[in-house]
Amino acid sequence: MSNHLFPEGFIWGTATSSQQIEGAVNQDGRGESIWDRFASKPGNISDGSRPDVACDHYNRWPEDIQQMQWLGLDAYRFSIAWPRIFPQGRGQVNSAGLDFYERLVDGLLAAGIEPYPTLYHWDLPQRLQDEGGWANRSIVNAYADYAEAVTRRLGDRVSRWVTHNEPWCIACLGHEEGHHAPGHKDPAEALAVAHHILLSHGRAVPVIRREAKNAEVGIVQIHCPAYPATNSADDQDAARWFDGGFNRWFMDPVFKGSYPADAVADRIAAGHLSSSEMPFVQDGDLGIISAPLDFLGLNYYSRNVMKVDENGRRVAVKVVPREELTDMDWEVYPEGFLRSLMTVHQDYSPPKIYITENGAAYDYPIGANGRIADTKRITYLREHLLALHQAIQSGVPVQGYFAWSQMDNFEWALGYEKKFGLYAVDTETQNRTAKDSAYWYRDVVAANAVDDSDSSPSQGESCEPEA
Ligand code: FCB
């Protein structure tokens, strides 16, 4: 066994998002979100559930902060619900919504935990969707006003700000594949949506810097490295194609001020763009989008293996047996995490990186002894932290890690059945139970180190976190 020590001052945290944990969708003047609407249509959420109550974090946040404190966290990443601040998307501010986040932030600070809020983690006010949502360029102004209202109220206490979570998911899951709200299946629209999200990010950067003291601003991108299934030219091109549309389409504008030419050509060939003059891109946009950032937030879960199938289509394939996949059907592939980190560092050199999400869905019951022995999650987290440690040793400037997630929650179109939490949440009683992974993570945080042996976490005398 050997212990891998992280750099002094390394930030350890957990992450959540508003729509996935808050519930209280009608409390204190909150407006409807696109996920409230999407989940109300039968068939959209696989287990038929809704986010109305979720983890009731809106009312139970003091208990959640106690659990974060028990974990020993340095920081907590959460998101702000736009429909709580502007129930109609723009116009009149709902100060009760801001009051909630002020209470949360003050509670975190009092517990010695630094807040890392994200302004947009997918819960768009439905009223803005009624005007076209992210496909309508006027949303960029509404987003800048929203960013201003939030940072004006909290900017004296909060200095790390994330504009958006995973623009790829918003654009493609929501507007091309249709699995996420608002459920559109229009690849051309998805490209305009992607551009307006990135533009709103760039517009918000100077607003946040103006309103928040010592602000550090970044964006969160999901990164999924692509591997060819074989060495054939076709499969290699399929991997290039996936990387272009999933990773580089969202990273190049932010860090290089341009869209990747090969991926633009792919979209022209597919008929999703008529020419490289993209109609939704106006003069000056890419300069705004590429405003220098203080950090990149990187989310990593798995890799994609790509091939061209018998029908000439580029498809992702599974290369390990079903039982080795997580409950999301994602391969456990820590080497891909190292590859993502090296690629991002070499191609874009962000001044610093936080791992803003990483984790795995596995469902374990509560045992007779009251414990949840989620060993596969511990293995997943350990192997990914070892890969991260290796990246840091190789010079990638990663300064923090946020496990997804603090607690089991509403996993979007997959409802409550996919469980990513360090804490289990009983959806009937709202009781939280620390899983073995929580005990394990607590040891990692305390030691600022991860060891490479398969030992179980120290449980001490008590199995229950101090309440
Ligand atoms: C990410 C999302 C997060 C959660 C995890 C599993 O793509 O940002 O909200 O759903 O996946």
Angle at 119 between CA 118 and CA 124, to 5 degrees: 125
Residue 84 lies in a domain: yes
Residue 464 lies in a domain: no
CATH code where residue 83 lies: 3.20.20.80
The model's pLDDT over 296-343, given as tens digits with 9 standing for 90+, comes to 999 999 999 999 999 999 999 999 999 999 999 999 999 999 999 999
The model's pLDDT over 384-427, given as tens digits with 9 standing for 90+, comes to 999 999 999 999 999 999 999 999 999 999 999 999 999 999 99
Q: Which atom of ligand 1 is nearest to the CA of 359?
A: 6
Mean pLDDT for 7-23 is: 99
Residue 343 lies in a domain: yes
Residue 270 lies in a domain: yes
Q: Which atom of ligand 1 is nearest to the CA of 412?
A: 10
Is the pLDDT at 43 greater than 80, yes or no? yes
Q: Which atom of ligand 1 is nearest to the CA of 220?
A: 8
Tell me what pLDDT residue 297 has: 99
The residue assigned the tokens 């009149």 is 92
Q: Is residue 204 within 8 Å of 150, Cβ to Cβ? A: no
Mean pLDDT for 239-252 is: 99
Sorted by sequence, the CB contacts under 8 Å of residue 161 that are 6+ apart come out as 117, 119, 151, 208, 212, 215, 216, 217, 218
Tell me what pLDDT residue 275 has: 94
Q: Is 166 a catalytic residue?
A: yes
Q: How far is CA 75 from the centre of its chain?
A: 15
Domain extent at residue 222: 3-451
Using the mean position of ligand 1's atoms as its centre, give its distance from the Cα of residue 294 in Å: 23
Using the mean position of ligand 1's atoms as its centre, give its distance from the Cα of residue 231 in Å: 31
CA 407 → CA 55, 107, 446, distances in Å? Answer: 8, 18, 20
Residue 340 lies in a domain: yes
Is the pLDDT at 461 greater than 60, yes or no? no
Q: Is 357 a catalytic residue?
A: yes
The model's pLDDT over 168-207, given as tens digits with 9 standing for 90+, comes to 999 999 999 999 999 999 999 999 999 999 999 999 999 9
Mean pLDDT for 372-395 is: 98
Tell me what pLDDT residue 2 has: 85
| Catalytic-role residue among 22, 32, 114, 166 | 166
pTM above 0.95, yes or no: yes
Is the pLDDT at 467 greater than 60, yes or no? no
Phi first, then psi: what are they for 222, rounded to 5°? -85, 140
Tell me what pLDDT residue 284 has: 98
Is residue 1 packed enough to be buried (19+ CB in 10 Å), middle (13-18) or exposed (0-12)? exposed
CA distance linking residue 313 with residue 330, whole number of Å: 21
Q: Is residue 217 within 8 Å of 155, Cβ to Cβ? A: no
Is the pLDDT at 1 greater than 80, yes or no? no
Task: Give the residue, out of 46, 55, 166, 355, with the most ligand 1 atoms within 8 A of its beta carbon, to mutate for a pocket test.
Answer: 166
Who wins on pLDDT, 143 or 460? 143
The model's pLDDT over 137-151, given as tens digits with 9 standing for 90+, comes to 999 999 999 999 999
> Minimal CA–CA distance to 15: which of 111, 102, 113?
113
Using the mean position of ligand 1's atoms as its centre, give its distance from the Cα of residue 416 in Å: 13
Domain count, the chain: 1
Mean pLDDT for 244-255 is: 99
Residue 358 lies in a domain: yes
Is the pLDDT at 460 greater than 60, yes or no? no
Using the mean position of ligand 1's atoms as its centre, give its distance from the Cα of residue 274 in Å: 32
Residue 460 lies in a domain: no
Q: Whose CA is nearest to atom 9 of ligand 1?
A: 17
Residue 284 lies in a domain: yes
